[in-house]
Amino acid sequence: MTFDASIWIWLPLAVAITLALIGKKRAAFTTLAVALFGAWFEARLSIIGLFVTVLGFAIASQVLRNKGFKKYLALAVTITWSLSMALHWLPGFSNLLVLDKVQTGPASIPFTMYLNLDKPLILFALLLAFPGLLGKAKSVEWGVLVKPLLVLASLLPIAVLSGGLEYELSLPSWWWLFLLNNLLLTCVAEEAIFRGFIQQEISKQLGWKIGLIIASILFGIAHLAGGWQLIVFAAIAGACYGMAFYLTGRLWVAVLVHFVFNFMHLIFFTYPIAIS
């Protein structure tokens, strides 16, 4: 692990994300402002990056305030901005390298991990554009919810049978850092995009089944760099996350299910994949 003094700025960012997920919008944005100021002070966010962030938020806030062409233009820019932040294409951000070519075990390939500043900001932009992003809580039918969770639990063993993974029990010293990063900086942003936004908005127009299918396929395609097998597995996993969201009406449930799946992968299997 490698750290520097600027790591503290991810604490208020994590708090802001947590507040946003539980519906404390004003407190979330206030805490986010502290994180962004700290990032600028620690040279992790340049003036250009701050401008990119504020501009993205300002445009996202116009989605609800306008109709017709202006509304769709603001929506298109917000989506483009969000995808660009997810892919780290926009300038002005200096994400912190914390794990450099580490292995969870001897059978796992080395991987690198950053604490990102840009990707987590997607949640806040989408909240400005879509106040219903977090979902509308439903009474949970546990007997129904367990079915997609069982499908999800079967995916990693199936990946072993197909040769993509191997069983490898490990708990690396940096597990807590992976936990915080994966839960709050990765899973939250991905679920906000694919379940909170894409699945919900398509469901409003075409029904929940079509919304679930399209969001899951797009989630699979987002893993294109990992090859066709990962695309298929990610799409199925995405459908399970989507069902967890649909059946509970709570985005945080989809985030939690997504994270638990990733953490089980880290502990019980080769991560991210096995050495071929």
**142 band by pLDDT with thresholds 50, 70 and 90:** confident
Distances (CA, A) of 248 to 94, 183, 186, 203: 36, 19, 21, 15
Q: What is the pLDDT of residues 176-198, one digit of tens each?
A: 999 999 999 999 999 999 999 99
User: Contact, 220 vs 232, CB < 8 A?
Assistant: yes
Question: What's the whole-number mean pLDDT along residues 80-101?
Answer: 97
**1 band by pLDDT with thresholds 50, 70 and 90:** confident
User: Contact, 196 vs 135, CB < 8 A?
Assistant: yes
The closest alpha carbon to 201, from 251, 153, 138, 130, belongs to 130
Q: What is the pLDDT of residues 222-262, one digit of tens each?
A: 999 889 999 999 999 999 999 999 999 999 999 999 999 99
Q: So what's the pLDDT on residue 226?
A: 87
Has residue 2 got a pLDDT over 90? no
Q: So what's the pLDDT on residue 177?
A: 96
Close Cβ partners of 76 (under 8 Å, ≥ 6 residues apart): none
Domain spans of the chain, in order of start: 5-268
The closest alpha carbon to 193, from 122, 118, 241, 116, belongs to 122
Q: So what's the pLDDT on residue 23?
A: 95
User: Contact, 112 vs 100, CB < 8 A?
Assistant: yes
Q: So what's the pLDDT on residue 4?
A: 86
Has residue 203 got a pLDDT over 90? yes
Q: So what's the pLDDT on residue 134?
A: 98
User: Contact, 64 vs 129, CB < 8 A?
Assistant: yes
DSSP string, 196-234: IIIIHHHHHHH-HHHHHHHHHHHHHHTTGGG-HHHHHHH
Q: What is the pLDDT of residues 60-77, one digit of tens each?
A: 999 999 999 999 999 999
Q: What is the pLDDT of residues 21-59, one digit of tens each?
A: 999 999 999 999 999 999 999 999 999 999 999 999 999
Q: Which amino acid is at 99?
A: L
Indicate the SS3 state at residue 269.
Answer: strand
Residue 205: Cβ within 10 Å count: 8
| Helix 68-86 / helix 47-60 crossing angle, nearest 10 deg | 140
Has residue 275 got a pLDDT over 80? yes
Supply the mean pLDDT for the chain.
96
